[in-house]
Every structure is written in C-alpha cells, then in structure tokens.
Amino acid sequence: MAASDLVNLSALLDDAQCFALVRQHRWPEGARCPVCDSGAVIRDGHDDTQPYRQRYRCKACSGRFDDLTGTVLAGHHQPLRVWVLCLYFMGLNLSNRQIALELGLDASDVQAMTEQLRRGLVAKAPEVELKGEVEIDEVYVVAGHKGQPAAVAKRGGSDVVAGWQARRAAARWRRTSHPFSA
Ligand SMILES: [Zn+2]
C-alpha cells in the first residue's frame, strides 16, 4: 500500500471512534480516576477543542481528568487517529519501518511511538509506574545481588539471572499483548 492510499485510510477513521476505542481499552469496565483509582466518576462535559474527548470528575477525590489524561497519547503532536493506526499496524506485526512507510512518518518517530505503546497506554501515569512489576523485580534482583553476593553465589548466579529474565519476558508479554491496559 502506498502512503497516498493511507491518507484515505486515515481519513476514514473519525475522532469519535478513536476516542471510543481508547476508552474501551483503557477502561473496559467503566472510567476510573487515574489519581485515586475510584470508579465513582461522573462525566463532566467534553474538551474545548476536541469535542469527542470526554471529561470526568472523580467523586472520591474531586480530581478532574479526561480520556487521554496520563496516557502516552496526551499532548502528543501526532493526531489520535495516527496513534490508533500505528497500534493497528503493530497488531499486524508490521515493522517500525513498514509502519513509517504506511503512515508517511519518519522511522525514528514511529520507533518512539511503538516503544511508548508497548510500554502501555498509561505508562506515563506515575501511579501505574509504581505498580510496574518489571521495575520492582529488577530493583529487587539487583539489590539482592548487591547486598548478599555470597548468598547469590551460593544459590548460583545463573539461576537468579534466569528467573529475572523469565519475569522480564512475562512482563514484556503482558505489555505487548495488552497495549491499552495499565
Ligand atoms: Zn479520584
């Protein structure tokens, strides 16, 4: 497919569908507050410049947020539909280079986008980073190794590394398999 065909494909996606898709994947069971994780949220109008971007107010902490708050899609210079298409192509296992070709973007831009999407849609949100099992596992393994080199050597360093790699692989699987989930 040539880049010129893709312009048409991109035009077929409307913003309403894109935002609905983000909501569906981010909050399959209804919107939750990104600050306190409460499900007691009420709709609170729409974004001033993006009419399909739903705003919410949290009844628990009075926080305000919208569909993209705390996601990698917020405040990015690429339109939402480009991100959605990028995600779609990632699902088809296209390489960064192929995606760049299809979207008419620089390969470096696409690489940054796919890396962000693989880390998860809401990877930028601090409370999600705190829950990240990968980081916690890595810190734990490194700290254990530093603090108890003898114990690590006794147990066999390769076992520790193997376990660590297995956890990393599992975490990577979770991230890449569920790009929209936290
Ligand atoms: Zn809240």
Tens digit of each residue's pLDDT, the chain (182 residues): 555 555 556 677 888 988 988 898 789 899 999 999 999 999 999 999 989 999 999 999 999 999 999 888 876 678 888 888 888 888 899 999 999 998 889 999 999 999 988 887 775 444 444 444 444 444 443 444 444 555 545 554 444 445 445 555 555 544 444 445 44
> Which two structure tokens, joined as six digits, stand for 129?
């980073």
16 C-alpha vs ligand 1 centroid, how far in Å? 25
Distance 32 CA to ligand 1 centre (A): 8
Q: Does residue 63 sit in helix, strand or coil? A: coil
DSSP output for 93-143:
T--HHHHHHHHT--HHHHHHHHHHHHH-TTTTSHHHHHH-HHHHHHHHHHH
Instruction: State the distance from the centre of ligand 1 to the C-alpha of 121, rounded, in angstroms.
Output: 19
**Single pTM value for the model:** 0.56
d(CA 73, CA 50): 13
Distance of CA 151 to the CA centre of its chain: 37
